[in-house]
Amino acid sequence: MFKGTFTALVTPFNQGSFDVARYAQQIGFQVRHKVKGIVAVGTTGESPTLSHQEHHLVIETAVRVGHKAGLQVIAGTGSNSTDEAVDLSRHAQSTGADAVLSVNPYYNKPTQEGLYRHFKAIAQSVTIPVILYNIPGRTNVTMTVATMVRLAHDCPNITTVKDATGNLDLTTEAVAAGMTVLSGDDSLTLPMMAVGAVGVVSVASNIIPGEVRKLVDAALAGNFVMGRRFHQRIFALCKALFVETNPIPIKTAMYLLERDTGEMRLPLCEPSKGNREVIRMALSQMGLL
């Protein structure tokens, strides 16, 4: 069900408040470049610092605007509290979201059994798909393929994982086990698709959705020579967009491109001068500035 390019949207702020109008504009930009869908309130959308009311509003806006334009909308509803993740997932389903994206619980560092029970509780609370999000760099815990398979066996609405482990062995094993895999790392999308991933949840596509889509479409068509050309073209920018903690670089890039205020909420703040220059140079080399 989930294949192609999905943009992990930033959450735009204006003087500290969620900017609904700019968010709609950013969704429109994605539509024009023909991505498959959008992800609202993920890591890139600064989910940890949004209030529940804001979280709801961002998802409601994404569904309303995105569906009208024919996009699939995946709602970020992860939490390290199972009850909170269940509540957020139920709200996302009530708005009409096509799926929820739920990250491994962070900080409390559950066991594999704890991960299984956490995601089973979420999956049983909704009928829409639950996309697992494996990102040990953020959570300090990695879901094993065995746990994914156990969940997929027991929960019909768990079939997909967003893989940001940076481990191609795990990607290969997950694909072999029957999981649908989406890349969670822009710079690894092509190699992950070479071993069976079917798309990406992309940060870079906030600013270069067309380029990311062309890479993914080429790989899906089995044209890895063409895919490699796009990979090489966007690689330096993808690396620059992670020169500091996401979403600091992408919001800085969007500010430089006059597509966002660049505002973030503490504890996130503007990049160092040196890293800002790295981001600016990468944009310039891509011909975006």
255 is catalytic: no
Whether the pLDDT of residue 232 is over 90: the answer is yes
Kindly write down the DSSP assignment for every residue of 209-270, as one continuous string. Answer: HHHHHHHHHHHHTT-HHHHHHHHHHHHHHHHHTTSSSTTHHHHHHHHHTTSS-----TT--P
Looking at residue 113, its pLDDT comes to: 98
On whether residue 163 sits in a domain, the answer given is yes
Looking at residue 1, its pLDDT comes to: 85
In this structure, what CATH number is given to the domain that contains residue 120?
Answer: 3.20.20.70
On whether residue 72 sits in a domain, the answer given is yes
Upper half-sphere CA count for residue 22 (Cβ side, 13 Å): 19
On whether residue 18 sits in a domain, the answer given is yes
Marked catalytic residue, from 36, 162, 214, 251: 162
On whether residue 97 sits in a domain, the answer given is yes
Domain count, the chain: 1
- Band of pLDDT at residue 153, cut at 50, 70 and 90: very high
- The DSSP code for 104 is P
Marked catalytic residue, from 36, 133, 214, 251: 133
On whether residue 283 sits in a domain, the answer given is no
On whether residue 16 sits in a domain, the answer given is yes
Query: What is the residue range of 170's domain?
Result: 4-210
How does the average pLDDT of the chain come out, rounded?
97
In percent, the amount of the chain with pLDDT more than 70 equals 100
On whether residue 50 sits in a domain, the answer given is yes
The stretch 206-225 carries a mean pLDDT of 98
Looking at residue 118, its pLDDT comes to: 98
Whether the pLDDT of residue 97 is over 90: the answer is yes
Unique residue bearing structure tokens 């290969």: 172
Q: Round to whole Å and give the CA distance between 225 and 274.
A: 34
On whether residue 247 sits in a domain, the answer given is no
Q: Round to whole Å and give the CA distance between 18 and 32.
A: 23
162 is catalytic: yes
